[in-house]
Amino acid sequence: RERGHFDFLAGTVLPELETLYARDPGYPLRIWSAGCASGEEVYSVAMILHDRYLGKGAAAPDIGLLATDISLNALMTAKAGTYQGQKFDEMPDRFKKRYFASSGDGEFSISGEIKSMVLFKRLNLMADSYPMRGQFDVVFCRNVMIYFNQESRDKVVSTIHDYVKPGGYLFIGHSESLHRDSNPFEYVMPAIYRKRPVPGRNSAPSGNSPTKLQGVNR
């Protein structure tokens, strides 16, 4: 859904990160799908990254993808990675051919190489803090906050902001919006926001330590 986000990721965000990677080959590229539901979003990101880097046979960035949801049933579905054929209407044919295999009855299962790129964990976004160490270049939190009241939405956005690298991006659903004057992110375009960069840089120093999930909030 909302393919424009993935086009922006591939056409704008990743080239910015490649500039950082060129300066520092140890730069850890970290992306978080917050409220991952049944996994289509994070697997779409994984396929873009695999196609761009890992499938080329060349040196690739240190890539880490985290997907969280409060629902154990959703996480089980996401980990299984099996989807009905109609889910592929907006997917490039080459991705379907390369990364999926038919499992019968009109279902297709995603390849193990894509599954292995994603860490799934249970997480309550309403927690006061999250059990990750480090920050993310990109956070997808799409069509999640439509279920929150304004106070809860402000709390979640403020907490997520702490886990985004300076210069990093937040993607939300097109049916959602953030108050431009009160939220801590800068507006980029509808449903895309950015954490203010450190002056003189387009992202944070890499640090070389990966983002880790130390535990699980329930």
pLDDT, tens digit, 9 for 90 and up, residues 32-58 = 999 999 999 999 999 999 999 987 765
Q: What is the pLDDT of residue 99?
A: 96
One-letter amino acid of 126? M
Question: pTM for this one?
Answer: 0.89
What phi and psi values does residue 114 have, to the nearest 5 degrees?
Answer: -80, -45
- For residue 17, the model assigns a pLDDT of 93
In angstroms, the CA 144 to CA 147 distance is 6
Per DSSP (E only), the strands in 78-135 are 82-84, 100-104, 107-110, 118-122, 132-133
The CA distance from 173 to 191, in Å, is 6
Taking the C-alpha atoms of residue 112 and residue 15, their distance in angstroms, rounded to an integer, is: 27
Q: Which helix (H) or strand (E) holds 192?
A: strand 192-194
What DSSP state is assigned to residue 22? H
pLDDT less than 50: residues of the chain = 203-211, 213-218
For residue 146, give the DSSP letter.
G
- Per-residue buried b or exposed e for 97-113, using 16+ beta carbons within 10 Å of the residue's own CB: eebbeeeeeeebbbbee
Can you read off the two tokens belonging to residue 68? 């969280």
The reported pLDDT for the residue numbered 200 is 57
Proportion of the chain in helix, strand, coil states, percent, rounded to 5: 35, 25, 40
